[in-house]
Amino acid sequence: MVNIEFLTSIISNLSPDLLILFEIGIIIIIATVFAYLIKALKQPIIPGYIIAGILVGPLVFGLVKNQSLINSLSEIGVAFLIFTAGLEIKLKKLKEVGSTVGIVGVFQVLIIFLIAFGVSILFGIGNQSAIYVGLVVAFSSTMVVFKILSDRRELNSLHGRIIIGILLIQDVIAIIALLVLSSDFSLMSLLNVFVKGLLFVIIAVILSKIINPILKVSAKTHELMLLVSISFLFLFIIGSVLGGFSLIIGAFFAGISLANSDYKTEIEGKITPLREFFAVIFFVALGMQLRLIKMDLVYLFAILFGLVIIVKPFITMFLVRSFGYKKITSFFTGNTLGQTSEFSLILATMGLLLGQISQGLFSTLVLLTIFTMSLTIYSVKYQKKLAKLFDWPLNILNGIETRKDNLEYHEEDGKKIVIIGCHRMGSLFIKEFEKNKKELFVVDYNPDIIRSLIEKKVPCIYGDFANEEVFAKINMKKAEIVISTIPDLEDNLLLVKKTRKANKNALIFIVADRISEALELYGVGADYVILPQVLGGQRVSNIMEKIMHNRLELIKLKKDHIAYLNSIHNILY
């Protein structure tokens, strides 16, 4: 075990220059250890950084003394985080969100804010501090949710698109809130903020139009592209500070300016390593500022925790359902948004620095973020089971007609060939069975693919086979072949069991990522498990052997492959 007192004595005897290097090193090393452990436990990584900060901070070991330096570095982390958030606010994406999701996003924030604000007032918290509490509870985490949806391959699902749309609206509202909170709330001050904010928007739009030629030249050199991007960020930050705003505002508008450029992807790639480094310091610094909270704040924490993980998801569910989406889509949307945000942490930090919230309330809000972010990964992982238990409140809205995601085209009688998951490998099977498309039944989570199949008169339905309503419409009793291209082990195990229960004679073909998963699927009754890596390797090996001494064969093979890919693309789009 490391002797903390001995380590502390060494730190106290270091020269100022070495002390800075030593403390940053301690932060990075401990944050790395916790990030590794948290990742191994499949937890969101941000709480791991905050826990590392608690350990190195005054609450536990007190290894880091130069708090002002760490806070300065963490502000750079905030700038990069907000800059990359701004990069996601493309005008095209905001248009794709649509008025329905926009209204849901605004009302969801407003309702949750008012409830949390009211609870705070009941606990004797002042109006200004209660505003911070309301905003912290109202927002959900873009970073955590985007990562979860990406890992689960649900970004293009209908509920995934609704969720991303709501988060985009929340991000815009969060920036407006930061603008307003940085003023003194007088009419003239608010008007001044509005005018300056409008000026920033105009400048951002103008610069976004003229930045492309500069980026085009910079793109030829990796270092120059990185320097131009960072210079652009700090140009806006300096302008923001000179204009009397927080650096957060400048960083956000710098991101928006570059979001609509032709080089947005390259900029993100260059900025990401820097963002990750400084973001670690920001989240560790948050942990370092945590203090023990009094009992009355413990009670407030418990109520706010319930608001975030129970009330907020149900309100979101009701709002989404009231606009004509199915119960399952509404539940998935609300359930995924049951946490507070990285923006919440930034708001809390700003409130503490401005003296508008107390140290105890700050610690309460940070702890709320840690716990709710950590819980989200479990609530989403088991959301199909949770949907069966907790979608009953939506029965109140059964009278509302489902019109938004009622995507299906089929007759009542069952089909011989059922394909679960249409994109990529699924499209290959559709190509093979194209002549017998009337015998096909396709189930997919991507609404665009289902719309395309409907236009081509291919029997299909949007949704998840695990949903009882969808599974009933598949009518597995008449299926002769069932093909799943979804590489999720739990989903496939459930599919095999449900199919075997409904139809013992159907042939079941399943896709798996690992050999161990394939063996487990064989164990529960799959007829054949497809391992793309193994099949792909065999196929490439055969091709290489065939073309090694015949270049003309390669040209023919390439031409045939392009034609085949185009035919598959035409089926889906």
Q: What is the DSSP string of 381-429?
A: HTHHHHHHHH-GGGGGGTTS---SS--EE--SS--SEEEE--TTHHHHH
- The answer to whether residues 354 and 466 belong to one domain is no
Report the pLDDT value the prediction gives residue 346, as an integer from 0 to 100. 81
Q: Is 246 in the same domain as 364?
A: yes
Q: How far apart are CA 487 and CA 478, in angstroms?
A: 24
DSSP 205: H
| Same domain, yes or no: 322 and 417 | no
The last residue of a domain, from among 363, 395, 427: 395
Is 34 found in the same domain as 112? Answer: yes
CATH number for the domain spanning 191: value is 1.20.1530.20
Q: In the prediction, which pLDDT does 133 show?
A: 94
366 and 456 part of one domain:
no
Asked if residue 318 is part of any domain, the answer here is: yes
Q: Considering the domain boundaries, does residue 11 fall inside one?
A: no
For residues 462 and 491, state if they share a domain.
yes
Q: Which residues of 315-330 are buried (b: 16+ CB within 10 A; e: fewer)?
A: bbbbbbbebbbbbbbb
Question: Closest Cα partner for 203 from 232, 162, 174?
Answer: 232
The answer to whether 166 and 365 are in contact (CB under 8 A) is no
| Burial state string for 133-147 with b = 16 or more CB within 10 A and e = fewer than 16 | bbbbbbbbbbbbbbe
Last residue of a domain, one of 343, 361, 395: 395
Whether residues 53 and 88 share a domain: the answer is yes
Q: Can you give the residue range of the structural domain that contains 525?
A: 408-572
Whether 439 is in a domain gets the answer yes
Together in a domain, 341 and 447: no
User: Does 4 fall in a domain?
Assistant: no
- Tens digit of pLDDT per residue, the chain (573 long)? 456 666 666 666 666 667 778 888 888 888 888 888 887 877 777 788 888 888 888 888 877 777 777 777 777 887 887 787 777 666 565 555 567 788 888 999 999 999 999 999 999 898 889 999 999 999 998 777 877 887 777 777 788 888 888 888 888 888 788 777 776 666 676 777 777 777 777 877 787 777 778 888 887 787 888 888 888 888 888 888 787 777 777 888 888 788 777 777 788 878 888 888 888 888 888 788 777 888 889 999 999 999 999 999 999 998 988 888 888 888 999 999 999 987 787 888 888 888 889 989 998 998 898 888 878 888 888 888 888 787 777 777 777 776 666 788 877 677 888 988 876 666 677 777 767 777 888 888 888 788 888 888 888 888 888 777 788 888 888 888 898 888 788 888 989 999 998 888 899 988 888 888 888 888 888 898 887 766 666 666 666 666 666 667 767 777 776 776 677 566 555
> Looking at the domain assignment, is residue 5 inside a domain?
no
Structural tokens at position 398? 């059964």
Q: State the Cα–Cα distance between residues 559 and 548, nearest whole angstrom.
A: 17
213 and 248: one domain? yes
Q: What Å distances lie between residue 354 and 130, 298, 347, 362, CA to CA?
A: 15, 23, 11, 12
Q: Determine, yes or no, domain membership for 531.
A: yes
- Structural domain total, the chain: 2
Domain-embedded: residue 15: no
Query: Residue 344: helix, strand or coil by DSSP?
Result: helix
Boundary (domain end) residue, out of 339, 365, 395? 395
500 and 352 in one domain?
no
Residue 496 lies in a domain: yes
Looking at residue 411, what is its pLDDT?
73
Q: What are phi and psi of 75, to 5 degrees?
A: -65, -35
Kindly report the CATH number assigned to the domain that includes residue 473. Answer: 3.40.50.720
| Same domain, residue pair 441 and 324 | no
CA 96: distance to chain centroid?
A: 17
pLDDT at 471: 85
Structure confidence at residue 1 (pLDDT): 46
- Count of CB atoms situated within 10 Å of the CB of 130: 22
**Shared-domain flag, residues 436 and 363:** no
